[in-house]
Amino acid sequence: MSGLPFDQLEGEIWYDGAYVPWADAKLHVLSHGLHYGSSVFEGERAYGGRIFKSEEHTTRLHASAREVGFEIPFTEAQINQAKEDLLKRMNLVDAYIRPVAWRGSEMMGISAQKNTIHLAIAAWEWPSYFDPAQKLKGLRLDMAQYRRPDPRTAPYKAKAAGLYMICTISKHEAERKGYADALMLDYRGQIAEATGANVFFIKDGQIHTPKPDCFLDGITRRTVIDLARARGIEVIERAMQPEEMEGFEQCFLTGTAAEVTPVSEIGSYSFEVGAITKTLMEDYAAAVNPNGQLKAAVA
């Protein structure tokens, strides 16, 4: 990455079925998606020119749109092909891909039945989400002020823009205090997730992770669960109380951007970067690499 603001990068963005210069990929300030959060998106990674689980991400994008009440006017096949073509046009091999769909500007108000549904796809080079040296030592997490909402109050199965507002607030507050991220509880006071990644804990050779009944069941989360079970490691999905963290030995986060990232501290609780965490880091690196080789060595 060049360090430039994202609106100043060079290249092309796929926008409603056409390729437009990066700087021309604009929407009107009165777009419904900006004012009312009627927008859904995906975060995807390409390794060695291959988008990891591209079809699964596109299926979720369509499902998210339906959760917030609109239909994307492009088929899954069209979107998958557009992502592949965009990578080639941008000459990208290892990259981040961001499809985003939103309601346009024909109506301004809560009601927006007549608004055009737009879809854009951007791709760019993307380094590690967390500092690599910090990542191998394990991240330090704060406890977030805000909680994941009751599923009766928000479409939690959607990867929807509006659901991330409390995540941004929580992450900014954590970084202001010197932490890398924050752990969010849910509306019941149970452990939920980090601001943009799912969380796992390890004790006595078993992996414990919160049941995703009010937050997004991440694609990387499911991938890592499969990798762990393929090694014969028991994975238990259940309700988890924050005080249980005192007894856990290891902790890690998962997400498309975060991949598998160890955690060394959450509030007053400490964890080691242990063997199971390192093994899953290696297994995930091998899984996403199209040549079947480890993407990076794990110290």
DSSP string, 44-70: EEEETTEETTHHHHHHHHHHHHHHTT-
Helix (H, G, I), strand (E, B) or coil at 79: helix
**Contacts (Cβ under 8 Å, ≥6 apart) of 72:** 61, 62, 65, 79, 101, 117, 119
Choose the catalytic residue: 159, 171, 177, 295.
Answer: 159
Residue 146 CA to residue 243 CA, distance in Å, equals 18
Instruction: Find the helix or strand (DSSP H, E) in which 81 lies.
Output: helix 76-90
The answer to whether residue 137 is catalytic is no
Closest by CA to 135, choosing from 275, 262, 283, is 262
> What are the tokens at 116?
């055009």
Closest by CA to 128, choosing from 262, 16, 237, 31, is 262
Residue 105 CA to residue 102 CA, distance in Å, equals 10
Query: C-alpha distances in angstroms, 73 versus 44, 53, 66, 77, 189?
Result: 20, 21, 12, 12, 39
**Contacts (Cβ under 8 Å, ≥6 apart) of 66:** none
- Active-site residues: which are they? 159
